Chain A
Amino acid sequence: MNQRTLAVVSAGLSQPSSTRLLADQLATATVAAAGFPLTVKVIELRDLAHDIANHLLTGFPPATLKEALDTVESADGLIAVTPIFTASYSGLFKSFFDVLDKDALADKPVIIAATAGTARHSLSLEHALRPLFAYLRAAVVPTSVFAASDDWGADSADGMLRTRIDRAAAELAREIERRDPVSVTDPFALTVSFEDLLKNP
């Protein structure tokens, strides 16, 4: 089977960050669940924060950001993890998906995941992240993964967090496997002949 790729977008701001920790655990679990070779490419939005703001202002992505956007667009699956800020995804997380092409995630299998200080924020995944990715026509897997600070404690090793990570990872691997590898359309390629455009503008 061909090599498939998995993009991991982490919007954690502190270093080290629990958002990145959750992202890495989800990625590792997905690679383990996949019965096929899967290359993981991690994108830390912290490193791209200035580039994302510049793209919003100038209308074009600096080279490093362009590479990250292309990585997401060409990936066979995506893990998107954000800290919860003020009852929703972080502004940086949203801004990255604002500058991504609106068709880049169409039918792409995605795990949505989030971290926060307490479990009180857990439904942000369902009322904020899931609608965002539904709008982008992504194929979000049924299990979303939320980790509060407590989840990294004593009961996490074999507890609920581990179970949810493995369940989401298995769902993502299955969705990637049953799809054809992603092929990205060349933005400079012509899709219709000029004669056809002239006849039927």
Chain B
Amino acid sequence: MQFGIFSVSDITTDPTTGQTPTEAERIKNIVTIAKHAEEVGLDVFALGEHHNEPFFSSSPTTTLAYIAAQTNTLQLSTATTLITTNDPVKIAEDFAMLQHLADGRVDLMLGRGNTGPVYPWFGKDIRAGIPLAIENYSLLHRLWREHTVDWQGKFRTPLQGFTSTPRPLDEIPPFVWHGSIRSPEIAEQAAYYGDGFFANHIFWPASHTQRMIALYRERFAHYGHGDPDQAIVGLGGQVFMRKNSQDAVNEFRPYFDNAPVYGHGPSMEDFTRETPLTVGSPQQVIDRTLGFRSYVGDYQRQLFLMDHAGLPLKTVLEQLDLLGSDVVPVLRKEFAALKPAHVPDAPTHATLLATAAKAAAAKKDEVNA
């Protein structure tokens, strides 16, 4: 199972000090955070994409390539890459390029984006969000798998004899996760292609995540990619920890109460009850996270939101230390002990390459026989 963190790249005032990092500080901090994720033994760093303040991450592949150059094992991903407003041709090119630079340590998570004005700024219509996601991904999927593509669709200018360069590393397209909070069409899309499905999970009750994942698993089997429990599932999570649980509650409360998304709304206690947010000791985080398995089944990737709402860099790095020393080693052991052998791990470049080599060898044997 993969463990990691994801960042939405918000530049938020620390409510306890009134300090707001500059863009330059926050951008350099995210690199420090990603590098530290690898240092403490995490597997994945995923970065969001936004085209409006107060977020800095308009250009995730640039940031991820810079992080790739300074890490060795960290899997680089996104949370999410906008499949609606980006040109699928540019996504194909950017992520293949990143694959080469990062020696294959790349996957991506596609999402539609819910910031209304971003659609018209990029010449699109938010009401066509689902059709855009479906058409754009069907083109992206082909661009990574077919050398020369002739294509015509509804939303983009046609392509005649187009080759996306560079080609995917070793002809293995990056693994794709599809993220959606509430659209069954996107769970269906992930199932149709046999791709991964990622449930944001942090702004929505668990019962909702349970239904979406059940739908994805059922349809994954329907399309012949394996049994429902072999589908590739990722979950978001949100935690704040201190050794002593009351210290965590006291320290996180001002950040919670002023957070850009849910601040000045529900109490931290209400939100902890209604969503997977856990504020407490490492043991509480372990117990809560293991509990996710009871409603989504064995899953492959767990990402935590750690660096938002104005939390200072020092605190974020301490959170990563706790995650790496007290939480993830236990979760790895416990999840592995529970997982049946036929449930696969999340695909990586190495495993996809091995699978492709095996398939090619089998085909060769068939020809020779």
- Residue numbers of A with Cβ under 8 A of B are 50, 53-54, 57-60, 62-63, 187-190, 194, 197-198, 201
Contacts and interface: CB of A to CB of B under 8 A. Distances in A.
Contact of A60 (B131, B203, B219): B203
Interface in B196-220: 203-205, 208, 211-212, 215, 219
A188 B266 contact: no
A166 B188 CA distance: 50
Nearest to B193: A194
Contacts of A57: 262-266
Contacts of B274: 60, 62-63
Contact of B189 (A63, A187, A194): A194
B135 interface: yes
Given A188-B212, A190-B215, 12 more contacts: A53-B265, A54-B266, A57-B262, A58-B261, A58-B271, A60-B205, A62-B266, A63-B274, A187-B184, A190-B188, A198-B134, A201-B135
A61 B184 CA distance: 19
B206 to A, nearest CB: 11
B221 to A, nearest CB: 14
15 contacts: A58-B262, A58-B265, A58-B266, A60-B204, A60-B274, A187-B182, A188-B184, A190-B185, A190-B188, A190-B215, A194-B192, A197-B130, A198-B138, A201-B131, A201-B155
B364 interface: no
B270 interface: yes
B153 interface: yes
B203 A201 contact: no
A190 B187 CA distance: 10
Nearest to A56: B265
B215 A188 contact: yes
Contacts of B182: 187
B333 interface: no
B270 A62 contact: yes
A58 B132 CA distance: 26
Nearest to A62: B274
A197 B134 contact: yes
B265 A201 contact: no
A54 B205 contact: no
Contacts of B342: none
The B contact surface, by secondary structure, is: helix
B26 to A, nearest CB: 24
Q: How large is the interface on B (under 10, 10 to 19, 20 to 34, 35 or more residues)?
A: 20 to 34
A62 B273 CA distance: 10
A4 to B, nearest CB: 27
Contacts of A194: 185, 188-189, 192
Interface string B241-280: 0000000000000000000011111100011001000000
B154 interface: yes
B149 to A, nearest CB: 16
A187 B189 CA distance: 16
Nearest 6 A-B pairs (CB), nearest first? A57-B265, A201-B131, A201-B135, A54-B266, A54-B265, A188-B211
B5 to A, nearest CB: 22
A63 B204 CA distance: 11
Contacts of A188: 184, 211-212, 215
A125 B153 CA distance: 49
Nearest to B182: A187
Contacts of B204: 60
Contacts of B219: 190
Nearest to B223: A194
A188 B203 CA distance: 17
A58 B188 CA distance: 26
Contact of B185 (A58, A59, A62, A197): A197
A62 B189 CA distance: 29
A32 B253 CA distance: 52
A26 B323 CA distance: 58
A62 B185 CA distance: 24
A53 B192 CA distance: 38
A152 to B, nearest CB: 38
Interface string B121-157: 0000000001110110010000000000000011100
Residue among A58, A63, A190 with the highest chain B CB neighbour number at 10 A: A58
A63 B132 CA distance: 32
A4 B86 CA distance: 49
Given A60-B204, A62-B266, A201 B188 contact: no
Contacts of B192: 194
A127 B219 CA distance: 48
